Chains A and B, each alone.
Chain A
Amino acid sequence: MHPAKSVIAFTTLSGLGFGLLIWLGLGAPAVTGRSAFAFFTIAYLLATGGLIASAFHLGHPERGLKAFTQWRTSWLSREGWAALLALGVMAAYGAGLVFLDTRWALLGWLGAGLSLGTVVTTAMIYTQLKSVPRWHMALTPALFLCLSLAGGALLAGQTRWAVPLLILAGGLQIAHWRRGDGALARSGTTLATATGLTGGSLRAFEPPHTGPNYLLREMVHVVGRRHATKLRVIALALMSVVPVVLLLAPFSHALAALAVLSHLTGVLTARWLFFAEAEHVVGFYYGAR
């Protein structure tokens, strides 16, 4: 799939933002007043920044409200509702913390649940796609969720949680890659099922047009194998290994900030790979794998 900057930014940033909101909703850290304001600002900037980034991806953002109508079938619509509700609930909850120094715990739990739900719906948008076997597995929401929780914990300064979650996320990421690498083959879709042609070995001869097209740009992105392996190592290191090492070192604000930065860069890289490595089955028609 085409690794569109807007979508990579959206999923990464909003994942972090909602991750942070989850922790805030759970009351970890138990902040109020100005520091609550600071935490909530960061969370909202990340979460809504991501949403705004995703709007760049739309052909008609001005019709965005229509996207709330199809929650019964569409994960994208559900994501919209979940995000809206999460942000609304968390806003009320945050207002209590910031302005009234009051923690409405129940509301916090609810907000955390909705934020978690938002992350899951985001992941489900990809997971549901049978046409992209690398995404079409339970590991995808698990990974998204774990990354969100880990990143949130990191931002929330929940080192105790952050370290195991980062390690778990690293593990899930490795599992996702490994299962993902065989997913296309396991899906059963091949050039032969795509064309129904039998009787010998099959080869895509000529593309339908010599010119480029939307499908190729959007769905048939080929990353070099060597390149991908290198990026995986970098992503894993930045996303999990480096932050864990930094968190285990004696605490300093600078190191914590570095850990966040490293994690963010790592997730962005992993997310780039998430898209760039994902093979859409339409690629078979174009002779891509």
Chain B
Amino acid sequence: MTELPDTTKRKLGLVIDLDTCVGCHACVISCKGWNTENYGAPLSDQSPYGADPSGTFLNRVHSYEVQPKEGAAQLIHFPKSCLHCEDAPCVTVCPTGASYKRVEDGIVLVNESDCIGCGLCAWACPYGAREMDAAAGVMKKCTLCVDRIYNDTLPEEDRVPACVRSCPAGARHFGDLGDPDSAVSKLVVERGGIDLMPEQGTKPVNKYLPPRPKDRITETAPRLTPVAQDIGGFLGWLDRTLERLPGGDS
């Protein structure tokens, strides 16, 4: 149903730490693996061994350079999947009701058997979080691993999205962003988590933790005071110091 629910009971989503993401693509491929075998049609690949290999992915890792006025440029790895927006334009544009936002947790999903593959929802999403599968002709998007997070055939600790479970750097966090006391909400407060494209009015649930300030060492580190300039001075210092150590002569 493409009307958005007035409110959702929870706001499940991801918090992605741009200070820690090393750009390894582990989340990209574990997502591909899980979602190829699970929810809906497999994520297909075209020309997989040919000139223009191109497939459906629900999560992709970009990278950006920041050049400050002074000092060295910085590189930021930037994973991006569906942000499960509260005001999800992808949902309201859908003519068939295939796209919907779940009342119980706010997850935005596509019901593939209702999808006519018109592509409009992908146009409506400002973030590029939806991809039409070329083989199945239906719209694919991050499911927040809805078939994992409540899956009682999985051990409790595994009921997290595939990308979160696999991220080696621990740069992806999953939880209820609607609950101010949840670990993710606290992390967002503590690290100044932000929304992407706030001006688009989508109210994304997923949050990004900005990189910490970099290249401050010449401002913050102490400079050492010499105790010796040459070997003679050093040996003098050595003798004086050794005497003060346990077992020293004095």
A residues sitting closer than 8 Å to B (CB atoms) are 1, 57-61, 63-64, 66-70, 72-77, 80, 125, 128-132, 187-189, 191, 193-209, 211-215, 218-219, 280-282, 285-286
Contact = CB atoms under 8 A, between A and B. Distances in A.
Given A129-B123, A208-B62, A214-B122, A74 B95 contact: yes
A195 B196 contact: yes
B65 A281 contact: no
A66 B97 contact: yes
Nearest to A191: B64
Nearest to B56: A214
A75 B97 contact: no
A63 B116 contact: yes
State the 5 A-B residue pairs at the shortest beta-carbon distance, nearest first. A59-B117, A59-B137, A208-B60, A282-B128, A200-B68
A289 B22 CA distance: 26
Contacts of A128: 89, 93, 124
Given A131-B123, A213-B60, 5 more contacts: A57-B118, A76-B93, A202-B66, A209-B60, A218-B122
A61 B16 CA distance: 38
A285 B127 CA distance: 8
28 contacts: A57-B119, A58-B117, A59-B116, A59-B119, A59-B138, A64-B116, A66-B97, A67-B118, A70-B94, A70-B96, A128-B93, A128-B124, A129-B93, A130-B89, A130-B126, A131-B124, A189-B200, A194-B197, A195-B76, A196-B196, A201-B66, A202-B64, A208-B60, A209-B57, A212-B52, A218-B123, A281-B200, A282-B126
Interface string B83-99: 00000010111111110
A191 B197 CA distance: 9
